[in-house]
Amino acid sequence: MTSDRFEKLEAIAGKLPAIIELFKLEPKRLDNFVLRAGPLRADFSKQAISEHARDQLLHLAKDCQLEDWRKRFFDGEKINTTEDRAVLHPALRGVGGDKSVQKQVSDMRKKLRGFAEKIRKTGTFKSIVHIGIGGSDLGPRLVADGLAASTKNTLNLRFAENVDGASINDALSGLDPKSTLVIVVSKSFTTQETRMNAEAAREWLTKKLGKKAGANFIAVTANREGAEKFGVAADHIFDFWDWVGGRYSVWSAVGLSLQIAYGPDAFDAFLDGAAAMDTHFRDAPLDRNLPVMMALTGIWNRNVLGYSSVAVIPYARRLRKLSAFLQQLEMESNGKSKTRLGEDAGLTCPIIWGDEGTNGQHAFFQWLHQGTPGAPVDFVAVLKDHENRPEHHKALLANCFAQSEALMIGKSQMIVEEEMMAAGISKQDREILAPQKTFAGNRPSTTITLDELTPSALGHLIALYEHKVFVQGVIWGVNSFDQWGVQLGKVLATSILKELGGGKGDHDPSTEALIGLISPSA
Ligand code: F6P
């Protein structure tokens, strides 16, 4: 994809007034740029984008056959072409897919519900250790935190993901194997980190429970054979399917620990929330379509204004894992440099980063306000106080709203100088200090608010970002559903691991020297 198609947009951007001026020039700006879907309200009006520019972006989306791609996606066509797979995560929430897919999903939902209810009722297990990494970890962790806002969890839910021994040690520490259910989640069941952690957990169970350990050991996978070979009992394996990408899998059996900990009703409400976002994305006109608008403003910021990153700042402690989750969702999906046709894709996925507000304000917000070039921000806030701390909650929201305003309006050098003059600061000092205390402003942001942090709202939010990624992938022309870029490092790590045990390898001098630091021949 060449950048020519962005030239027209660049010309429009070059003539745009400041965002704050756009509010005066466009009296319907709020109507046009604030979109709603269920409990979610997204305010794009603080983006550096005019109504005319928005219209041109909508044309671009149409030119890229977005509506056609969207149909093919929901119809279950094999749009993951490099792996020859359909991409049907909406079917996990009951939207899209053919009859056989729908049946597979509803049978599995029944099975999971039954299993979760049984475990909750018998009360044998006090703790769950969820083992998995990447998509088999980040979604469940984010959702576990998010569900806690409105739903009680009576179990001790722990996660182990990293191959660093500290990860599984911390997860198992202080637990009684007898009352611990280990759930190993891996789509491929070949992931090194997960297999090693699963082996460690199995050993820990077996030491105390002997042959009965298998009763406390569950696998969730798309590779049933692999799990059986690993030694998991056939009736302790929950399947999902190759048409569910790892980073899109929290809606499947991958969410089993959540169902057990928070209950199947909360999990169903989470799925229903996502389904509502699916139908909104499928049916709403493009200019009122939340994922589409979110994607298009992202394209504008990346390909037209040239920003190379996006900060995601949830002003909600219980969403603090959102940016880590989105790093995989967005960067593993669209962090590509070639199109589906093998051509150069141009600028694609920006860096996604962030941390919870208000913490970030005392860390990297200096850079957001005055650093070069700064980054567009997604502010995410929850309107309802779930913590019975109304004063804290007001302060949290006040900070959130203030930051987006400050980024947009800035503070001119003239005002800074006037304030200094009034404070009796000399002209010489003013000349040195005023530029450093000035805020350029005109820094774009979107503010997404959730009425409440219910399971449904959480489902809406995650599905919103999933579909945003889909739209951007279509516009960049990349396959958002493979991840070849993770392979090379995995292959090299496997051969280096052998060399650390005494094998011989062939590497560059720097890598040889690193291996030499700990290999037996050193
Ligand atoms: O290494 C990347 C990756 O393949 C992700 O795409 C995936 O979510 C993660 O590893 C874990 O994979 P699995 O669920 O197969 O263990």
Domain of 255: which CATH number? 3.40.50.10490
Q: Do 340 and 354 belong to one domain?
A: yes
| Distances, alpha carbon 84 to alpha carbons 70, 79, 111, 471, 477, in Å | 17, 7, 28, 20, 17
Nearest-atom index, ligand 1, CA of 185: 14
| Distances, alpha carbon 460 to alpha carbons 37, 184, 387, in Å | 8, 27, 21
The DSSP letter of residue 107 is: H
Catalytic annotation on 338? no
**Active-site position among 118, 207, 394, 490:** 490
CB neighbour burial string for 270-297, b if at least 16 within 10 angstroms, e if fewer: bbbbbbbbbbbbbebebbebbbbbbbbb
| Distances, alpha carbon 107 to alpha carbons 99, 118, 240, 243, 273, in Å | 12, 17, 11, 16, 20
Residue 521 inside a domain? The answer is no
Count CA atoms closer than 13 A to 457's CA, side-chain side: 25
Residues 135, 288: Cα–Cα separation, whole Å: 30
Q: What is the DSSP string of 235-262?
A: GGEEE--TTS-GGG-TTTGGGHHHHHHH
Q: Is 245 in the pocket of ligand 1 (CB under 6 A)?
A: no
SS3 401: helix
Domain end call among 269, 291, 306: 269
Q: Do 421 and 466 belong to one domain?
A: no
pLDDT of 330 reads 98
Residues 106, 124: Cα–Cα separation, whole Å: 27
Which tokens belong to 202?
A: 């199995």
Q: Do 179 and 257 belong to one domain?
A: yes
Choice from 87, 486, 487 to test ligand 1 binding pocket (greatest atom count within 8 A of CB): 486
CB neighbour burial string for 502-517, b if at least 16 within 10 angstroms, e if fewer: eeeeeeeeeeeeebee
Q: Is 252 in the pocket of ligand 1 (CB under 6 A)?
A: no
Positions of the chain with pLDDT under 70: 1-3, 520-522
- Please classify residue 63 by burial: count the beta carbons closer than 10 Å to its beta carbon, then call 0-12 exposed, 13-18 middle and 19+ buried: exposed
Strand pairing report for 445-450 and 40-43: antiparallel
Residue 85 inside a domain? The answer is no
Query: Whose alpha carbon is nearest atom 10 of ligand 1?
Result: 134
Residues 261, 255: Cα–Cα separation, whole Å: 10
Percent of the chain that is helix, strand, coil (3-state, to 5): 60, 10, 30
Mention every residue, 6+ apart, whose C-beta is less than 8 A from residue 499: 505, 515, 519
- Total-model pTM: 0.97
* Residue 127: its H or E element: strand 127-131
Which tokens belong to 243?
A: 């048409």
193 CA to middle of ligand 1, Å?
10
Q: Do 246 and 324 belong to one domain?
A: no
Q: Is 186 in the pocket of ligand 1 (CB under 6 A)?
A: yes
Strand partners for 159 = 130
Residue 263 inside a domain? The answer is yes
Which tokens belong to 87?
A: 């991409």
Q: Do 217 and 260 belong to one domain?
A: yes
Q: Is 483 in the pocket of ligand 1 (CB under 6 A)?
A: yes
The DSSP letter of residue 234 is: G
Q: Which domain holds residue 433?
A: 411-442
pLDDT of 522 reads 47
Q: Round to the nearest angstrom and report the end-to-end CA distance of the chain.
A: 49
Residue 148 inside a domain? The answer is yes
pLDDT of 180 reads 98
Where do the DSSP E strands lie in 331-465?
Answer: 351-353, 377-382, 445-450
Q: In what order do the strands lie in the sheet with 377-382?
A: 34-37, 40-43, 445-450, 377-382, 309-315, 351-353
Q: Do 501 and 448 belong to one domain?
A: no
Q: Do 68 and 121 belong to one domain?
A: no
Nearest-atom index, ligand 1, CA of 191: 16
Strand partners for 316 = none
Q: Is 187 in the pocket of ligand 1 (CB under 6 A)?
A: yes
The DSSP letter of residue 222 is: S
187 CA to middle of ligand 1, Å?
7
Residues 194, 219: Cα–Cα separation, whole Å: 11
**Active-site position among 332, 356, 417, 499:** 332
Q: Do 504 and 423 belong to one domain?
A: no
Mention every residue, 6+ apart, whose C-beta is less than 8 A from residue 221: 184, 185, 186, 187, 188, 189, 227, 237, 238, 239, 240
Choice from 83, 89, 136 to test ligand 1 binding pocket (greatest atom count within 8 A of CB): 136
pLDDT of 3 reads 59
Choice from 184, 192, 483 to test ligand 1 binding pocket (greatest atom count within 8 A of CB): 483
Q: Is 188 in the pocket of ligand 1 (CB under 6 A)?
A: yes
Nearest-atom index, ligand 1, CA of 483: 6
pLDDT of 133 reads 98
Q: Report the alpha-carbon angle 14-20-21, nearest 5.
A: 65
pLDDT of 85 reads 97
Q: Do 277 and 401 belong to one domain?
A: yes
Catalytic annotation on 490? yes
pLDDT of 477 reads 98
Residues 292, 474: Cα–Cα separation, whole Å: 11
Mention every residue, 6+ apart, whose C-beta is less than 8 A from residue 428: none
Q: Is 333 in the pocket of ligand 1 (CB under 6 A)?
A: no
Taken as a whole, the chain contains a residue count of 522
Q: Do 423 and 279 belong to one domain?
A: no
CA quadruple 375, 380, 383, 384: dihedral, nearest 10: -140
* Residue 166: its H or E element: helix 165-172
Q: Omega of the bond prior to 455 within 30 degrees of 0, cis?
A: no
Q: Do 365 and 236 belong to one domain?
A: no
Residue 205 inside a domain? The answer is yes
Catalytic annotation on 117? no
Residue 312 inside a domain? The answer is yes
Give the number of other Cβ atoms within 10 Å of residue 126's Cβ.
Answer: 14
Q: What region, left, alpha or beta, does residue 210 occupy, with left being phi > 0 and alpha being psi -120 to 50 degrees?
A: left
Query: Whose alpha carbon is nearest atom 9 of ligand 1?
Result: 134
Domain end call among 252, 269, 286: 269
Residue 522 inside a domain? The answer is no
Q: Do 17 and 118 belong to one domain?
A: no
Q: How many domains does the chain have?
A: 4
